[in-house]
Chains A and B, each alone.
Chain A
Amino acid sequence: MSEATMRELEVAVWRGGDSGGFVTYRVPERADQTVLDVVTFIQRRIDPTLAYRYSCRVGMCGSCAMTVNGRPRWTCRTHVATVAKGGRLSLAPLANMPVIRDLVVDMTEFFDKWRRAKGRFVPAKESPKGFARVPPADPKRRAADAGIECINCGICYAACDVVRWNPDYLGPAALNRAWTLYNDVRDGDRLGHLLAVAGDAGCHACHSHQNCMEFCPKGLNPTASIAGLKRAVAGAYLKGEL
């Protein structure tokens, strides 16, 4: 074995529930290794009781997000070489969600808020006559397209200060989703989407810290979506539609 493959990473992994602690493991360092590779190595070779989530391994499913060296990241697309400082990694569950065990958090509230923000398409009452024509260059469609690639990984929610301060706050992902639906001209209740996010813990609670934008692995800008919602809600209010 060459010296390069002999090198080891020192990996501190959160074990237990909310009141757990870090346990350190030594994992061989390899070329092009992802953080998820490291977690999988620990679970398969060192301690099979380690709980963590993953599915697609290619940045599509949004299930492998964790706190890596203090920052929320998707672990399947994060190379160890880009984040490990001096061969050290610290892996913890995502913040702002209750820990079930080890690296697994309970995302129930996250998805409940998705529902509370009315984050689902509402079909029009009458059946459409033929296909809806939506020009890709239409400003509304562009606004929707800008936020549509969300994979529900929960990273923005874990990074958000307002979620930490106000547990009722709907959060960046749910609000971003509401914004894409509001801009979908085929949606049958666009005003309903605004109403759902205009309350006490909705879009107006955002302080535009932009942590969501900073950490979104898909490069989305939920802060801009929320700002759009604020403008749309204020506009609807002034027109007496709210």
Chain B
Amino acid sequence: MSAKTETLVWLAQRISAMVLAPLVLVHIVTVIYAIRGGLSAAEILSRTQGSLFWGGLYGLFVLAAAIHGSIGARTVIGEMTPWRGRSLDAAAVAFAVGLMAMGFRAVGALT
């Protein structure tokens, strides 16, 4: 990849990590709170559906996770296996798109 693209990818990786760090904490705390409180799936859905806050939060989560995960996977594969170059870049993009599609579908169902 060109110097420009590589730098953009690096920045995207850092920024998505900064976004993910607080979101993961919020997600885990919420999960523990919901489970300990004994909320049923229907009760959780009644709170999240139509909520801009939860929709926005998990939408951002999906976006950041798809970007961060695909860039990270590309790096790990490039270092640990002989697979490098354009086909790996394309696979990473496909992975990001797949994660986003599945993630946004889930967010859509939640809200």
Contact = CB atoms under 8 A, between A and B. Distances in A.
Contacts of B1: 199-200
Interface residues of A, number: 17
Interface string A205-242: 10000000000000000000000001001100110001
A135 B61 CA distance: 48
B6 interface: yes
B18 interface: no
A195 B80 CA distance: 26
The secondary-structure label for the interface of chain B is helix
Contacts of B7: 198, 204, 233-234, 237, 242
Interface residues of B, number: 14
B79 A237 contact: no
Interface string A75-105: 0000000000000000000000000000000
B80 A237 contact: no
Contacts of B4: 198, 237, 242
Residue from A194, A195, A237 whose CB has the most chain B CB atoms within 10 Å = A237
A230 to B, nearest CB: 7
Interface in B63-84: 75, 78-80
B11 interface: yes
Nearest to A235: B7
A162 B2 CA distance: 20
A200 B80 CA distance: 16
Contact of B79 (A162, A195, A204): A162
Contacts of A198: 3-4, 6-7
B6 A202 contact: yes
A165 B80 contact: yes
Contacts of A230: 10
Interface of B: 1-4, 6-11, 75, 78-80
